[in-house]
């Protein structure tokens, strides 16, 4: 067994590998860029080596620097994590030449599966079902249109060397194919230094289901069940689960056996994933093979009881798999939510900055948090904006979902925007709960983007009760201050008015924490809620039991003081609650509201990023839908279009300029 390994990665995956290595008694070496000098993976490792400036190409993708770090520290092997150099053939070859073990598959297997065009040909030869399409390299947009017409719309344009949703476009027409070809090739060249793309039939109502395989160098190969990864946005996974709520035992076995056949055909060793597209009749087609550890591997670990990183390390050290296919048993259900620093209300633009508050939910047998950040850490513009992977486990899918909802409620993040409300909204969707999933789920359920909906009556009732008792506790403390003026009430008043999300409710509070009762009318019914909690003023999480009876439901509400109001967050909803006396509420209702500034004559940058190009000039007339600019953020190119006809008055930014969110780019007359 290795005595020391280097992790050629950063963030949560580097931390995750370090935890397993530490448990195995293996020393670890972290590498880091200038932007990651204070990163969590650097703090966790036994040793760390600086490898360059913040941009990936100057640090984490520098093969020579990583090999030098191995030699300088005596690391015998390298775990690449995912992304970065994990599927880079040149990296694997350089390590082998230097006498350093690569904790991953053989270089030939990486080469065979790393090219999506060649991998489909190999899969077909191995007896694996494949999607109809044109597997040759496409030279230009005109050729792409010709091929798309022959295959029949809709089609998928995909980068041959792609991954992570980059270099992928769906096209339903010639015009979309032309534009998709241009943007996919540009994105692929930027992300992978390889602008080749191909076209294949887009399977409608598809599910994205992948099979985890594991093989050793002794000829043993097994599959560890499947993961349902259909909940995606822009081809990037958002929520994954294992097993799939759609597959039956027969289909699972067939997919698993085909995945193993493909792995054996390319001489695969280590952990890998064979991805399939599955239609509504459970017909499945090979999509690609990822020759690395997947981001969503924890859900497989939860239902199998296996540590995939440990098994990768043991296989790389020459050990045989300690079990056979018949020994693989799937137990329970696991769900993973990817928590990102992004603003779901603003079309998911990345959010960068410092994590002023970062308190993940407590970990247990049913809750796991894989993260690479800590309170005070910074979400950088240079890397993927993932904050954490939140995984919950339960004996049933319903139990796993319930635990995920509770864990999301307890995930306290401040300083950057995040997608927790969006994740909670997905979990509450009747369609998600029914397991009726496709890769179009998010586009279909949120056709106009994500907008926080009206508070459900049961959620509003909980928040009204919580606001009343929280305010009562705050008021009681204020009244306990010595030296108050004469005439101030000695006890909190029982009757209040709670304003919540634009609506108002007259409440009557009896008792005080740790046990109180709140009476009010909401949603056409009278509520008499018991509230029990040991919450103390200043704590960000209000953990309570709230219900019509003295029992009630256990829940978590995030509660923060904002001026005279309380910011309450629960079940994916975040709203301001203001508690006033009945008289003050009547007067407040007469106050005028300040109108928002008019920004309709400006094209504003929807995210922090780089202005790649401007398609207009001063005095030019534009029509609705016409391209105005391209902004690149987190290695993704975003085309900004005119919302209506107009004339360009002036330009406020130049190509190559770094933009802040809401920075003006174009002003219209």
Measured between alpha carbons, how far is 308 from 300 in angstroms, rounded to an integer?
9
pLDDT per residue as tens digits for the range 568-601: 999 988 899 999 988 888 888 888 877 777 888 9
Instruction: Locate 162 and state its tokens.
Output: 């792609």
The mean pLDDT value of the chain amounts to: 92
**How many Cβ atoms are within 10 Å of 611's Cβ, its own excluded?**
20
pLDDT-wise least confident of 140-149, 281-290, 471-480: 471-480
The mean pLDDT of 196-209, rounded to a whole number, is: 89
| Res 483: pLDDT | 75
Segment 518-533, tens digit of pLDDT: 999 998 899 999 999 9
Q: pLDDT tens digits for 88-136?
A: 999 999 999 999 999 999 999 998 898 877 888 899 999 999 887 887 7
225: closest CA among 310, 289, 290, 303?
A: 303
Tokens of 9: 């990665």
Q: Which of 217, 303, 209 is nearest to 259 (CA)?
A: 209
Q: Write down the architecture of domain 457-588 according to CATH.
A: 2-Layer Sandwich (3.30)
- Does residue 486 register a pLDDT over 70? no
As beta bridge partners, residue 603 has: 666
Is the Cα torsion angle 16, 55, 240, 454 positive or negative in sign?
positive
Mean pLDDT of all residues in 602-631:
90
The answer to whether 351 and 341 are in contact (CB under 8 A) is yes
Percentage of the chain lying above the pLDDT 90 cut: 73
pLDDT in tens, 399-441: 999 999 999 999 999 999 999 999 999 999 999 999 999 999 9
Domain boundaries, the chain: 4-103, 106-131+207-331, 132-201, 338-447, 457-588, 602-668
Enumerate residues 6+ apart whose C-beta is below 8 A from 26. 1, 2, 3, 4, 5, 313
383-407 pLDDT per residue, tens = 989 999 999 999 999 999 999 999 9
Q: How high is the pLDDT of residue 163?
A: 65
* Bridge partners, residue 569, by sequence: 558, 574
For residues 466 and 570, give the distance between their C-alpha atoms in angstroms, rounded to a whole number.
11
CATH class of 338-447: alpha beta
Q: What is the pLDDT of residue 241?
A: 98
Q: Which fold has domain 132-201?
A: Dna Ligase; domain 1 (3.30.1490)
Give the pLDDT score at 201.
Answer: 86
CATH 3.40.50.20 correct for 4-103: yes
Mean predicted confidence (pLDDT) in 473-491: 72
Residue-wise DSSP of 289-344: EE-S--TTHHHHHHHH---HHHHHHHHHTTPPPS--GGG----SEEEEEEEESEEG
CA distance 67 to 50: 12
Q: Residue 167 has what pLDDT?
A: 84
Question: Quick check: 191 pLDDT over 80?
Answer: no
Catalytic residue from among 12, 240, 288, 342: 288
**Any alpha helices (H) in 415-504, and if so which ranges?**
420-428, 430-433, 441-445, 457-479
pLDDT at residue 482 above 70? yes
- Give residue for tokens 């296989």: 315
Q: How far is CA 210 from CA 125, 259, 276, 650, in A?
A: 20, 9, 6, 50
Active site residue 12: no
Q: What is the mean pLDDT of residues 328-336?
A: 98
> pTM of the predicted model, to two decimals?
0.83
Is-contact 383 549, C-beta < 8 A? no
pLDDT at 203: 86
- Residue-wise pLDDT for 7-41, tens only, equals 999 999 999 999 999 999 999 999 999 999 999 99
Between CA 134 and CA 177 the distance in angstroms is 14
| Fold match between domain 132-201 and domain 338-447 | no
106-131+207-331 topology per CATH: D-amino Acid Aminotransferase; Chain A, domain 1 (3.30.470)
By C-alpha distance, which of 99, 110, 78 is closest to 9? 78
pLDDT of 487 higher than 90 = no
Question: What phi and psi, each to the nearest 5 degrees, are found at residue 514?
Answer: -85, 0
Q: Residue 401 carries which DSSP code? A: H
Q: What is the pLDDT of residues 215-268, one digit of tens each?
A: 999 999 999 999 999 999 988 899 999 999 999 999 999 999 999 999 999 999
- C-alpha distance across the termini of the chain, in Å: 70
- 85-89, 165-169, 523-527: which has the minimum mean pLDDT? 165-169
Fold of 602-668: OB fold (Dihydrolipoamide Acetyltransferase, E2P) (2.40.50)
Lowest mean pLDDT among 144-148, 322-326, 445-449, 604-608: 604-608
**Taking 70 as the threshold, does the pLDDT of residue 491 lie above it?**
no
- How sure is the predictor about 62, in pLDDT bands with cuts at 50, 70 and 90? very high
- pLDDT for 375 equals 97
């Amino acid at each position: 067994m290795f005595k020391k390994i280097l992790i050629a990665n950063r963030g949560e995956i580097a931390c995750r590998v370090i935890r397993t290595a530490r448990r195995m008694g293996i020393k670890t070496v972290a590498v880091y860029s200038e932007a990651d000098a204070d990163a969590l993976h650097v703090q966790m490792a036994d040793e760390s080596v600086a490898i360059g400036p913040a941009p990936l190409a100057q640090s984490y993708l520098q093969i020579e620097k990583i090999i030098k770090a191995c030699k300088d520290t005596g690391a015998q092997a390298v775990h690449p994590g995912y992304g970065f150099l994990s599927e880079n053939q040149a990296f694997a070859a350089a390590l082998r030449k230097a006498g350093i073990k690569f904790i991953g598959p053989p270089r030939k297997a990486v080469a065979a599966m790393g090219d999506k065009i060649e991998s489909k040909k190999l899969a077909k030869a191995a007896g694996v079902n494949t999607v109809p399409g044109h597997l040759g390299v496409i030279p230009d947009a005109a050729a792409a249109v010709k091929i798309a017409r022959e295959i029949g719309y809709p089609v998928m344009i995909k980068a041959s060397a792609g991954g992570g949703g980059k270099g992928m476009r769906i096209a339903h027409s010639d015009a979309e194919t032309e534009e998709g070809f241009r943007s996919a090739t540009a994105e692929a060249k930027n992300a992978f230094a390889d602008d080749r793309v191909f076209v294949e039939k887009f399977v409608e109502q598809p599910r994205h289901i992948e099979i985890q395989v594991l093989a050793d160098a002794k000829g043993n190969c097994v599959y560890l069940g499947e993961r349902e990864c259909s909940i995606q946005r822009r081809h990037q996974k958002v929520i994954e689960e294992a097993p799939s709520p759609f597959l039956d035992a027969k289909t699972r076995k067939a997919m698993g056996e085909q995945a193993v056949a493909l792995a054996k055909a390319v001489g695969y060793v280590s952990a890998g994933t064979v991805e399939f597209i599955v239609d509504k009749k459970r017909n499945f087609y090979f999509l690609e093979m990822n020759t690395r550890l997947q981001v969503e591997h924890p859900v497989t670990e939860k239902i199998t009881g296996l540590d995939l990183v440990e098994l990768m390390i043991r296989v790389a050290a020459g050990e045989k798999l300690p079990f056979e296919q018949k020994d693989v048993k799937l137990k329970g259900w696991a769900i993973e939510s990817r928590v990102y620093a992004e603003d779901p209300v603003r079309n998911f633009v990345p959010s960068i900055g410092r994590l002023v508050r970062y308190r993940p939910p407590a970990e247990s047998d049913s809750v796991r948090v894989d993260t690479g950040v800590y309170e005070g850490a910074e979400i950088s513009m240079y890397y993927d904006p993932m904050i954490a992977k939140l995984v919950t486990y339960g004996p049933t899918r319903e139990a796993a979902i319930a635990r995920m909802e509770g864990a999301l409620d307890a995930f306290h993040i401040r300083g950057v925007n995040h997608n927790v409300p969006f994740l909670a909204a997905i979990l509450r969707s009747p369609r998600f709960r029914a397991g009726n999933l496709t890769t179009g789920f998010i586009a279909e359920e949120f056709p106009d983007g994500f907008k926080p909906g009206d508070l459900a009556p049961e959620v509003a009732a909980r928040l009204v009760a919580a606001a009343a008792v929280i305010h009562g506790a705050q008021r009681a403390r204020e009244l306990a201050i010595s030296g108050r003026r004469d005439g101030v009430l000695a006890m909190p008043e029982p009757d209040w008015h709670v304003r919540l999300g634009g609506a108002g409710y007259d409440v009557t509070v009896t008792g005080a924490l740790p046990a109180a009762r709140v009476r009010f009318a909401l949603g056409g019914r009278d509520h008499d809620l018991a509230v029990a909690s040991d919450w103390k003023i200043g704590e960000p999480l209000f953990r309570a039991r709230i219900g019509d009876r003295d029992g009630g439901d256990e829940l978590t509400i995030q509660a923060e003081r904002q001026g005279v109001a309380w910011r309450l967050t629960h079940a994916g909803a975040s709203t301001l609650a203001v508690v006033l006396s009945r008289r003050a509420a009547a007067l407040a209702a007469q106050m005028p509201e300040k109108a928002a500034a008019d920004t309709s004559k400006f094209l504003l940058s929807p995210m922090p990023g780089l202005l790649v190009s401007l398609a207009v000039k001063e005095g030019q007339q534009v029509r609705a839908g016409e391209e105005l600019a391209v902004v690149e953020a987190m290695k993704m190119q975003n085309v900004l279009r005119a919302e209506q006809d107009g004339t360009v008055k002036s330009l406020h930014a130049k190509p190559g300029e770094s933009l802040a969110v809401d920075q003006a780019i174009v002003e219209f007359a």
